[in-house]
Amino acid sequence: MRNIKLLIQYDGTRYNGWQSQEHTEQTIQGKLTKVLERMLGEEIDLQGSGRTDAGVHAAGQTANFRTRSEVSCEEILDYVNRYLPEDIAVSEVTEADLRFHSRLHACRKTYVYRIWNSAIPNVFERKYMYQVKEPLYVEQMRQAADLLEGTHDFRAFCANGRTKKSTVRTLEQIKIERRERELSLHFTGNGFLYHMVRILTGTLLEVGMGKRDPEEMTHILASLDRKEAGPMAPAQGLCLWNVVYKD
Residue 77 belongs to domain with CATH number: 3.30.70.580
Encode pLDDT of 30-87 as tens digits: 999 999 999 999 999 999 999 999 999 999 999 999 999 999 999 999 999 999 999 9
Beta-bridge partner residues of 116: 131, 182
pLDDT attached to residue 24: 86
Q: Look up the domain containing 75 and give its range.
A: 2-96
Encode pLDDT of 164-223 as tens digits: 899 999 999 999 999 999 999 999 999 999 999 999 999 999 999 999 999 999 999 999
Mapping DSSP onto H, E and C, the string for the chain reads CEEEEEEEEECCCCCCCCCCECCECCCHHHHHHHHHHHHHCCCCCCEECCCCCCCCEEEEEEEEEEECCCCCHHHHHHHHHHHCCCCEEEEEEEEECCCCCCCCCEEEEEEEEEEECCCCCCCCCCCCCEECCCCCCHHHHHHHHHHHCEEEECHHHCCCCCCCCCCEEEEEEEEEEEECCEEEEEEEECCCCCCHHHHHHHHHHHHHCCCCCCCHHHHHHHHCCHHHCCCCCCHHHEEEEEEEECC
pLDDT attached to residue 162: 80
101 in any annotated domain: no
Domain boundary among 48, 64, 96: 96
In this structure, are residues 230 and 206 in contact, taking their beta carbons and an 8 Å threshold? yes
Q: Which of 9, 10, 28, 13 is nearest to 235 (CA)?
A: 13
Same domain flag for 133 and 84: no
Considering the candidates 45, 53, 146, 247, report the single residue annotated as catalytic.
53
Domain boundary among 62, 96, 130: 96
Buried b (16+ CB within 10 A) or exposed e, 137-173: ebebbbebbebbbeebebbbbbeeeeeeeebebebee
Same domain flag for 82 and 143: no
Same domain flag for 192 and 140: yes
20 in any annotated domain: yes
Same domain flag for 88 and 140: no
Q: Which of 59, 32, 86, 7 is nearest to 238 (CA)?
A: 59
What is the rounded average pLDDT for all residues in the chain?
96
Give the global pTM: 0.95
Same domain flag for 23 and 47: yes
Reply yes or no on whether 153 is catalytic: no
Number of domains in the chain: 2
Domain boundary among 74, 96, 118: 96
Phi, psi of 8 (to 5 degrees): -125, 145
Same domain flag for 20 and 117: no
Same domain flag for 75 and 117: no
Domain CATH code at residue 176: 3.30.70.660
212 in any annotated domain: yes
